[in-house]
Amino acid sequence: MTDTPHFPLSAVVGADDLKLALYLTAIDPKIGGVLIEGPRGMAKSTLARGLADLLASGQFVTLPLGATEERLVGTLDLDAALSDGRAQFSPGVLAKADGGVLYVDEVNLLPDHLVDLLLDVAASGTNLIERDGISHRHSAKFVLIGTMNPEEGELRPQLLDRFGLNVALSGHTAPTERGQIIRRRLDFDNDPQRFCAQWEHQQQSLREQCEKARSVLASIPLDDEALALITERCFAAGVDGLRADLVWLRAARAHAAWRGANAITEADIDAVAEFALRHRRREQSPPVPQHHLPPSAQNANPSEGQGQWGEMPAQALPVGARREVPSWPKKP
């Protein structure tokens, strides 16, 4: 008995920004995955599942909301270790997702202890299980895709920043598009195999374009000119840390590869800017350096221009320092 096929990504109507973000992640998984925000009924999970078909492994693993720690990381059979002299490992979700997609629906409702485990593994690419002096280590490299409805609660800042790209879906869809969406969904539900066969040509073209982009990705330089433009704009947006700069640069290169170019242009940088900045942008920009201020402002009392960053001006922050802000920004 064959599994029911997933709705093909090429048949999805609208959601162009999200589809582009997923394409870029398929081209360069090191971008760090995608956080998809939007109200219920926006086919967020359908779109997320479509990514698996664009990856080499095609693996798509879901982390259930009520999962236990053992379900996530796996278990070690100590009885087998005592009798056979080696630990018998039962793989969890992290092991099954290695090389593919790890999908977390309602990721903002994930318990804190699972968030901590997920953060550790996502950063290292390795899952380590230890029990009573016995340990097992395995590779756990995956594309992390999360969906959430912002009305149901915020996401922890540490996990929010771990997602490379962030896309928000609007619940307001034009009548014409709504009709197309419903018609295609009805056709798929009526006969999934036939529907997928009808879209196989477009789906294969999409796979081939992603594969071609992956093959040329490494030949596109992460040049200093593109990096300088990105770092200036990250500074202007007041983002913390350096992850935004790195993700933005990788996404811009993947976008150049997607359109068949051999170098990053400003158009590539602009095309992915909101994806990289949306969940990292602060409500207020950092203070303007003194040499950019008019003479009258430069001669003002220094204590009058400290703002929320305190006494240390932005350009004097030590390397690696983190600016503290009163609260996490509201989503636009």
Last residue of a domain, one of 255, 273, 290: 290
Full domain range(s) for residue 135: 9-168
Determine the 3-state secondary structure of 105 from DSSP: coil
Q: What is the pLDDT of residue 316?
A: 36
**Residue 136 maps to a domain:** yes
Same domain, yes or no, for 158 and 24?
A: yes
- State the CATH number of the domain containing residue 60: 3.40.50.300
Q: What is the pLDDT of residue 151?
A: 84
Q: What is the pLDDT of residue 49?
A: 85
**Residue 312 maps to a domain:** no
**Residue 50 maps to a domain:** yes
Same domain, yes or no, for 25 and 119?
A: yes
Last residue of a domain, one of 134, 168, 202: 168
Q: What is the pLDDT of residue 307?
A: 32
Tell me the pLDDT of the chain (332 aa) as tens digits.
Answer: 346 688 899 998 888 899 999 999 999 999 989 999 987 777 788 888 888 888 877 788 999 888 888 899 888 876 665 666 666 888 889 999 998 899 998 999 988 889 998 888 988 889 988 877 778 888 999 999 999 988 888 888 888 888 999 999 876 677 888 888 889 999 999 999 999 999 999 999 999 999 999 999 999 999 999 999 999 999 999 888 889 999 999 999 999 999 999 999 999 999 999 999 999 887 544 444 434 444 433 334 433 333 323 333 333 333 343 334 334 444 44
Spatial CB neighbours of 130, under 8 Å, sequence gap ≥ 6: none
Strand stretches in 119-274, DSSP E: 126-131, 134-139, 143-148, 165-168
Task: Calculate the alpha carbon distances from 178 to 42, 171, 191, 217 in Å.
Answer: 11, 11, 20, 36
User: Total structural domains in the chain?
Assistant: 2
Last residue of a domain, one of 105, 137, 168: 168
Same domain, yes or no, for 226 and 141?
A: no
Same domain, yes or no, for 226 and 163?
A: no
**Residue 268 maps to a domain:** yes
Same domain, yes or no, for 161 and 47?
A: yes
Same domain, yes or no, for 147 and 250?
A: no
**Residue 72 maps to a domain:** yes
Same domain, yes or no, for 223 and 155?
A: no
Question: Which of the following is catalytic: 207, 243, 278, 323?
Answer: 243
Same domain, yes or no, for 103 and 242?
A: no
* DSSP structure string for 3-51: PPPPPPGGG--S-HHHHHHHHHHHH-GGG--EEEE--TTS-HHHHHHHH
Same domain, yes or no, for 228 and 95?
A: no
Same domain, yes or no, for 13 and 112?
A: yes
**Residue 213 maps to a domain:** no
Spatial CB neighbours of 241, under 8 Å, sequence gap ≥ 6: 161, 322
Same domain, yes or no, for 40 and 160?
A: yes
Strand stretches in the chain, DSSP E: 34-37, 60-62, 75-77, 88-90, 101-104, 126-131, 134-139, 143-148, 165-168
Beta-strand pair 126-131/134-139: antiparallel
In the annotation, is 280 catalytic?
Answer: no
Same domain, yes or no, for 15 and 154?
A: yes
Q: What is the pLDDT of residue 86?
A: 65
**Residue 208 maps to a domain:** no
- State the CATH number of the domain containing residue 247: 1.10.8.80
